[in-house]
Amino acid sequence: MVKFILTKELGKLARWLRILGFDTYYYTSDNMGTLIIYALRENRVIVTRRKRVDDMKVVVVETNDVRSQIKELVEKLKLKINENLMFSRCVICNELLEKVKKEEIKGKVPEYVYTTQQEFYRCPSCQRLYWQGSHWGNVREILKKVLGGDVCS
Ligand SMILES: [Zn+2]
């Protein structure tokens, strides 16, 4: 599965790629030399809005808004979005989420969430909790609008 490294002007797109399950390194430094080293070492595709990153497998994103950027990237790389991988990563850290027992998070999420949701996931790095109803809410709807009918394989 393709892995990405995104330059700092693409923070929103980085979160989206993580939501979709792609291993996405969000690179916030201006040091392009180190960026290239990371990309080579971990075999990541560089995604950037900058025009000049030499001799690398680079995708230059032409559009401004994140929805257009998703569409653009999916089209340019002919990405397959696998529904089973969606919501498997922390949008902040890129870590794979771990399922947690419901009892473990009692008191750590709002009461109504605890009573209405059955499945909870935790980021092993930042400990942020995820559940279907919250952050994931209308992602599928947005994707449908952005990419058209059959986005998921
Ligand atoms: Zn995290």
pLDDT string in tens for the chain (153-residue length): 899 999 999 999 999 999 999 999 999 998 888 888 889 899 999 999 877 666 556 888 889 899 999 999 999 888 888 888 888 999 999 999 999 999 999 999 999 999 999 999 999 999 999 988 755 667 878 888 888 765 554
Compute, in angstroms, the gap from residue 91 CA to the centroid of ligand 1.
Answer: 7
CA torsion, points 135, 138, 144, 147, in degrees to nearest 10?
A: -40
Which tokens is 65 given?
């808004």
What pLDDT shows up at residue 153?
Answer: 45
4-85 CATH choice from 1.10.287, 3.30.460, 1.10.3470, 3.40.50: 3.40.50
Compute, in angstroms, the gap from residue 122 CA to the centroid of ligand 1.
Answer: 8
Q: Domain residue spans in the chain?
A: 4-85, 94-134
Residue carrying structure tokens 């058209």: 148
Whole-angstrom distance, CA of residue 47 vs CA of residue 7 = 7
What pLDDT shows up at residue 81?
Answer: 85
Compute, in angstroms, the gap from residue 56 CA to the centroid of ligand 1.
Answer: 29
Tell me the pTM: 0.74
Which tokens is 142 given?
């947005």
